[in-house]
């Protein structure tokens, strides 16, 4: 049984953090650390948190997302949460999480567009 | 293989993960829809974390139940931890003693149909939650 790991990659001026489907608390901590470390190297325009595989958003996870977004905001970046599943969105709405500092996108493509990244093949 | 009850010892982060996975399988077996499964697993995640965080260790027992022709799923979290000082305040969701959203217990109540807290300081806590399949 594997909890999976969190991954952060840099694409041009955007950081893309990807959560595994069922992250343990330490994995969520790890991703936050990795993003902040990467931001220190060269502050990006925006950070996309891809949660499309995440199957549940409990209070710990929501708190971390919110905190991470606030930190990124303080460092001058924009955070976009991409791909929240419908069932996770329902649960998060019922729980009344305050995710005000966070922008949301349907997918990572949509999130990239929101951050001004365009793909124009000629 | 189909089981209608079982238990998971909670002693580590991996065990917390295990409670979620077992809860998901159990909820799928009862036939809950995706949204209810997510509600159940989220509630279980909150309580399993609380057990691990505050009491260090405990156990989750789950049981498929029936009542008047309807089927439900009940989870019991037991520990010998410090107990919850003010369960009513904890249910208000207005404060947090950990680094969660401060909504762990109140959120659990919102997501489930029934919730019962039996706690005594320095003795332990037993929390029972139930979701009915409509």
Mean pLDDT for the stretch of residues A47-69:
92
Contact across the interface for B41 and A87, Cβ inside 8 Å: no
> pLDDT digits over A91-122, tens only?
999 988 878 778 999 999 999 999 988 878 77
How much is the mean pLDDT over chain B? 90
Could you tell me the fold of the domain covering A7-113? Transcription Regulator spoIIAA (3.30.750)
B39 contact residues in A (CB cutoff 8 A): 91, 94
Examine the pLDDT at B101 and tell me if it is beyond 70: no
| d(CA B106, nearest CA chain A) in Å | 9
Task: Render A77-122 in DSSP notation, one character per residue.
Answer: -EEEEE---HHHHHHHHHHT---TT-EEESSHHHHHHHTT------
Nearest to A63 among B24, B101, B111 (CB): B101
Of the residues B8, B12, B17, B110, the best mutation for testing chain A's interface (the one with the most A CB atoms within 10 Å of its CB) is: B17
pLDDT in the model for residue A2: 38
Examine the pLDDT at B1 and tell me if it is beyond 70: no
Q: What pTM was computed for the model?
A: 0.90
> pLDDT digits over A18-31, tens only?
998 888 899 999 99
d(CA A100, CA A4): 28
| d(CA B115, nearest CA chain A) in Å | 16
> pLDDT digits over B117-131, tens only?
999 999 999 999 999
pLDDT in the model for residue A96: 84
> pLDDT digits over B37-49, tens only?
999 999 999 999 9
Residues, chain A: 122
Question: Locate tokens 């009513």: which residue?
Answer: B88
DSSP 8-class letter at A75: T
Contact across the interface for B39 and A88, Cβ inside 8 Å: no
Give the percent of chain B with pLDDT over 70: 90
β-sheet bridge partners, residue B118: B126
Mean pLDDT for the stretch of residues A51-75:
91
Task: Band the pLDDT of B97: cuts 50, 70, 90.
Answer: low
Task: Render chain B in DSSP notation, one character per residue.
Answer: ---SEEEEEE-SHHHHHHHHHHHHHHHHHHT--HHHHHHHHHHHHHHHHHIIIIIS-EEEEEEEEEETTEEEEEEEEEE-SS--S-HHHHHHT---SSSS-S-HHHHHHHHSSEEEEEEETTTEEEEEEEEEE-
The CATH number of the domain covering residues in B5-133: 3.30.565.10
User: Which residue does chain B place closest to A90, by CA atoms?
Assistant: B35
pLDDT in the model for residue A101: 72
| Nearest alpha carbon to residue B125 among B50, B74, B20 | B50
Contact across the interface for A95 and B46, Cβ inside 8 Å: no
Q: Which sequence spans correspond to the domains of chain A?
A: 7-113
Contact across the interface for B49 and A96, Cβ inside 8 Å: no
Examine the pLDDT at B26 and tell me if it is beyond 80: yes
Examine the pLDDT at B112 and tell me if it is beyond 90: yes
Q: Which sequence spans correspond to the domains of chain B?
A: 5-133
């Amino acid at each position: 049984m594997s909890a999976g790991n969190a991954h952060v990659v840099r694409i041009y001026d955007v950081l893309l953090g990807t959560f595994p489907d069922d992250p343990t608390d330490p994995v969520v901590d790890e991703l936050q650390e990795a993003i902040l470390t990467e931001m220190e190297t060269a502050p990006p325009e925006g950070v996309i948190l891809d949660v499309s595989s995440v199957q549940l958003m409990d209070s710990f996870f929501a708190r971390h997302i919110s905190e991470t977004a606030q930190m990124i905001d303080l460092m001058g970046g924009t955070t976009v949460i991409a791909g929240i599943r419908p069932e996770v969105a329902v649960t998060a709405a019922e729980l009344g999480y305050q995710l005000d500092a966070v922008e949301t996108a349907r997918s990572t493509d949509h999130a990239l567009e929101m951050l001004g990244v365009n793909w124009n093949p000629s | 293989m189909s089981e209608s009850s079982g238990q998971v010892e909670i002693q580590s982060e991996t065990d917390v993960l295990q409670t979620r996975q077992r809860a998901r399988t159990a909820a799928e077996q009862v036939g809950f829809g995706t949204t209810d499964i997510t509600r159940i697993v989220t509630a279980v995640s909150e309580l399993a974390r609380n057990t691990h965080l505050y009491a260090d260790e405990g156990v989750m027992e789950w049981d498929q139940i029936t009542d008047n022709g309807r089927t439900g799923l009940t989870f019991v979290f037991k520990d010998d931890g410090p107990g919850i000082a003010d369960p009513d305040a904890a249910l208000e969701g207005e404060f947090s003693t950990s680094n969660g959203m401060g909504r762990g217990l109140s959120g659990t109540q919102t997501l489930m149909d029934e919730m019962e807290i039996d706690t005594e300081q320095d003795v332990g806590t037993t929390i029972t939650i139930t979701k009915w399949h409509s």
